[in-house]
Amino acid sequence: MPNDFDAVVIGAGSFGAWTALALRRRGLRVLLLDAHAPAHSRASSGGESRIIRMGYGPNRLYTEWSQQALERWQELFALAGRPLFHRTGVLWLSPAHDAYTAQSLAAFWELGVEHQPLTRAELARLYPQLTLDPAVTWGLLEPASGVLLARRAVATVVEQAVREGVVYQRAAVPQPVQFDQRPDGAALPALTLADGSSITFSGSATYVFACGAWLGQLFPQVVGHRIFPTRQEVIFFSPPPGDARFAPPALPTWIDMAYEAYGMPDLEGRGLKVGLDRHGPPFDPDTGSRLPSPEAISHTREYLALRFPALAEAPVAETRVCQYENTSNGDLLLDRHPAFQNVWFAGGGSGHGFKHGPSVGEYLAARILDHFPAEPRFSLAAKQTVQSRAIF
């Protein structure tokens, strides 16, 4: 393996790809590795679509990061000539006393996020294909938000990074990671890969492990008890032929606070995407079954019948089993390894992290190169061993 690099990023998902690009743009010689391929079928960054939205309740840092990230994604897509962002709008459906949506509204006013509060009557007029049960009393629309075409978006980041000088290679690291340590243990000059080859350096390089649900397996003693991969299923339902009510612009992306559900309109003819945002059972990203469960399809269809009764009997067009890589409360994990000064973690996407890839990359580049002050909520020390979800 060549050794003329200043930084090695392991994992070519949203976090890893954007971090590699950010480090390269700061002048470093960067090697990007992935065990399979960018945004491969088992990756947390895999799949066709991800929501990008600004609403984060009281967690305004994530709203600011989403604003910044959307600009970076759009700049990249314009540079590549690929329209991989759909401005569908994002509609929050909220109960009367939902603090999270109300706090998002307050943040939108302060941070200049384009938004439109909607009464129940306005929701019924604008979106007649939605059935509003008593749980929904008002809505909040983000007109400028929407959907990133995830798999292709990450591939585009990697392609741009390679054009700018990042070296990408397919290679795996062993589980758990085995380091060739210096006697003082302060820095790691070498990394042995799963095939027995090594990355070695005359000096010390920076390693960034952006391995998603595999992060805990690679570092079981340090991270393993602080990352909780869960099985998540999304179902696509086919609207009737010629029925445009469930495609943009008639229907936005939506987040349903009362039922912990979300969905996207029919994009590119794939069908209406519906997901239940509750954490599923523990999941191994290597060995876990990717086949849909009858229970998940049944529960999702029950929600569909409640909110979109015209699709109650719609055929299933497509399914996907993926995983969240949850931290204890949903905050990202962006921190240095506690024992090694040149090893960094980028993970803990917790089901909402994909959109933040550009912000993650720029944050880590600033931390690594400029000694930018650490955000406490991203620290390893802030991650607990018992889940209590607070970030949605």
CATH of the domain at 299: 3.30.9.10
pLDDT tens digit string along 368-384?
999 999 999 999 999 99
Does residue 346 share a domain with residue 253? no
Does residue 244 share a domain with residue 320? yes
Do 200 and 189 form a contact (C-beta atoms < 8 A)? yes
Is residue 140 a part of any domain in this protein?
yes
Do 192 and 200 form a contact (C-beta atoms < 8 A)? no
Is residue 65 a part of any domain in this protein?
no
Q: How far apart are the first and last CA of the chain?
A: 41
Does residue 368 share a domain with residue 258? no
Does residue 201 share a domain with residue 127? no
Do 377 and 335 form a contact (C-beta atoms < 8 A)? no
Q: What predicted TM-score, i.e. pTM, was given to this entire model?
A: 0.96
Q: Which of 31, 15, 306, 315 is nearest to 168 (CA)?
A: 31
Residue 274 DSSP one-character state: E
Q: Which of 319, 371, 314, 378 is nearest to 350 (CA)?
A: 378
Residue 255: partners with Cβ closer than 8 Å, 6 or more residues away:
51, 53, 55, 90, 91, 92, 93, 261, 262
Does residue 232 share a domain with residue 320? yes
* Range of the structural domain that residue 107 is part of: 86-147+228-324
Query: What ranges in the chain are assigned the alpha helix state H?
Result: 14-25, 60-80, 99-111, 120-126, 150-163, 215-218, 294-307, 357-370
315 three-state secondary structure: coil
Does residue 285 share a domain with residue 157? no
Residue 40: count of CB within 10 angstroms of its CB: 16
Does residue 177 share a domain with residue 142? no
In angstroms, the Cα distances linking 35 to 12, 128, 163, 344 are 9, 46, 21, 18
Beta bridge partners, 237, equal: 272, 316
Tell me the CATH number at 196. 3.50.50.60
In angstroms, the Cα distances linking 67 to 43, 54, 79, 144, 154 are 24, 7, 19, 10, 18
Does residue 42 share a domain with residue 173? yes
Does residue 100 share a domain with residue 218? no
Residue 195: count of CB within 10 angstroms of its CB: 10
Is residue 120 a part of any domain in this protein?
yes
Domain boundary among 324, 342, 368: 324
Return the residue matching tokens 């795996």: 172
Residue 199 main-chain phi, psi, to 5 deg = -100, 120
Does residue 206 share a domain with residue 308? no
Alpha carbon distance 46, 285 (integer Å): 12
Domain boundary among 290, 308, 324: 324
- Cα 161 from chain centroid? 19
In angstroms, the Cα distances linking 76 to 154, 225, 278, 377 are 11, 36, 32, 28
Do 217 and 235 form a contact (C-beta atoms < 8 A)? no
Does residue 117 share a domain with residue 13? no
pLDDT of residue 183: 46
Alpha carbon distance 367, 338 (integer Å): 15
Q: Where does 238-352 show beta strands of DSSP type E?
A: 253-256, 261-264, 272-276, 316-326, 333-336, 343-347
Return the CA Rg of the chain: 21
- The answer to whether the bond into 176 is cis (omega within 30° of 0) is yes
Is residue 254 a part of any domain in this protein?
yes
Q: Which two tokens stand for residue 55?
A: 């609403």
pLDDT of residue 185: 55
Could you tell me the strand order of the sheet in which 190-192 lies?
179-180, 190-192, 198-200
Q: Which mean pLDDT values do the consecutive 10-residue runs of the chain (392 residues) have?
A: 83 98 97 95 93 98 98 98 98 95 97 98 98 96 98 98 98 82 62 86 84 95 95 97 97 97 97 96 96 96 97 96 96 95 96 98 97 96 94 92
Does residue 313 share a domain with residue 335? no
Q: Which of 220, 215, 176, 168 is nearest to 194 (CA)?
A: 176
Number of domains the chain contains: 2
Alpha carbon distance 352, 150 (integer Å): 13
Helix (H) or strand (E) holding 192: strand 190-192
